[in-house]
Amino acid sequence: EAGVAQSPRYKIIEKRQSVAFWCNPISGHATLYWYQQILGQGPKLLIQFQNNGVVDDSQLPKDRFSAERLKGVDSTLKIQPAKLEDSAVYLCASSLDGGEQETQYFGPGTRLLVL
């Protein structure tokens, strides 16, 4: 079974530029999560989708971050404009249907450096 795919793996941009990350979850998984992991910290949930609807985006900085999950499969996360403090690894995860006792499966992440 293929895992969660993410691209690109690495991205370097200058502040105020925009950037987009892509995620393809495990086939059949209805729930998709985007996390931000700053160096030395645990992952922080940015947004959670159930199919193509948003379940939780309470920690998403909506003035600069946006995410969508068209057709309930792939998802993109965008940052516009980027700030220095956005330098982090962006992790995508998926689970079968988002139940409280399910396992989340994580992708390899996209490492973003903002200069």
Partner 1 sequence: SQQGEEDPQALSIQEGENATMNCSYKTSINNLQWYRQNSGRGLVHLILIRSNEREKHSGRLRVTLDTSKKSSSLLITASRAADTASYFCATVNSGGYQKVTFGTGTKLQVIP
Positions touching partner 1 (CB under 8 A) are 31, 33, 35, 41-45, 48, 50, 55-56, 91, 93, 95, 98-109
Q: Is the peptide bond before 81 cis (omega within 30 degrees of 0)?
A: yes
Nearest residue (CB) to partner 1, 18 versus 54: 54
* Closer by beta carbon to partner 1, 48 or else 75: 48
CB 103 within 8 A of CB 13: no
Cβ count within 10 A of residue 65:
19
33 vs 65, beta carbon nearer partner 1: 33
Q: Is 8 helix (H, G, I), strand (E, B) or coil?
A: coil
Minimum CB–partner distance for residue 16 and partner 1 (Å): 27
